[in-house]
Structure 1
Amino acid sequence: MSDHSITPVAAHEPPYYAAVFTSVRTDDDGGYGETAERMEELVKDIPGYLGMDQAHTPGGLSITVGYFRDADAIREWSGHAEHRTAQRRGRAEWYERYTLHIARVERSHEFERTPGD
């Protein structure tokens, strides 16, 4: 049974960009949740930010995909002072490992089941 309260970010008119952050956390949780919430608030103020999807596996793998209108928006987010501080703390405390991939989206579409489908 699916959870219909979970909604992926809508498809946008290409081209746009996706920043794919895949991580495995350490056991250190000190302040992580509060910092993650703060980052989710701050990124919304970046001009060109389009939304974010997140998924977590039972084994501890997390994937966050941030969508941005252009590469300048990603650069602005990457250089944001509070985000830079959180990145340093993530490397020092919260992440065993992570990868970041920046991709240009060339094609995008969506589907939503309607009642009766």
Structure 2
Amino acid sequence: MSDHSLAPVAAHEPPYYAAVFTSVRTEDDGGYGETAERMEELVKDIPGYLGMDYARTPGGLAITVGYFRDADAIREWSGHAEHRAAQRRGRAEWYERYTLHIAKVERSHEFERTPGD
């Protein structure tokens, strides 16, 4: 994944959707980084895509949360041909296990510390 700044995706006006992808990778890294960067670029072209947060623990658990305006945007991303090919390769080579949760966000807010807080 690309180097994200230390800022979460901004809160959006609900309702919207979150696709939570949690994974543990295999030792095989061949082509993973390039494919992840390509997916990150492609998803930005999906109408209704709102942003993505990503974190990885030192032990190897990775969590990617993609935010989408509606379920149609998630379906479009899920069915994208290059994304489907990356999913197949992920199951064959890169992931020991993963889970995907789709959730409707009904409440959203944010906080940012300002100087003097």
CA spacing shift, 1:6–1:83, aligned 2, 3 Å: same
Extract unaligned runs of 5+ from structure 1. Answer: none
| TM-score of the two chains, using structure 1 as the length reference | 0.96
Across the aligned residues of Structure 1 and Structure 2, the Cα RMSD in angstroms comes to 3.1
Extract unaligned runs of 5+ from structure 2. Answer: none
| TM-score of the two chains, using structure 2 as the length reference | 0.96
**Runs ≥4 in structure 1, deviation > 6 angstroms?**
1-4
Paired residue for 2:40? 40
The structural deviation recorded for 1:5 is: 4.0
Query: How many pairs are equivalent?
Result: 117
SS at match of 2:99: strand
Paired residue for 1:107? 107
The structural deviation recorded for 1:116 is: 1.1
SS at match of 2:2: coil
Tell me whether 1:5 sits opposite 2:2 in the alignment. Answer: no
Identity rate of aligned residues, in percent? 93
CA spacing shift, 1:87–1:5, aligned 2, 3 Å: closer
CA spacing shift, 1:81–1:14, aligned 2, 3 Å: same
The structural deviation recorded for 1:4 is: 11
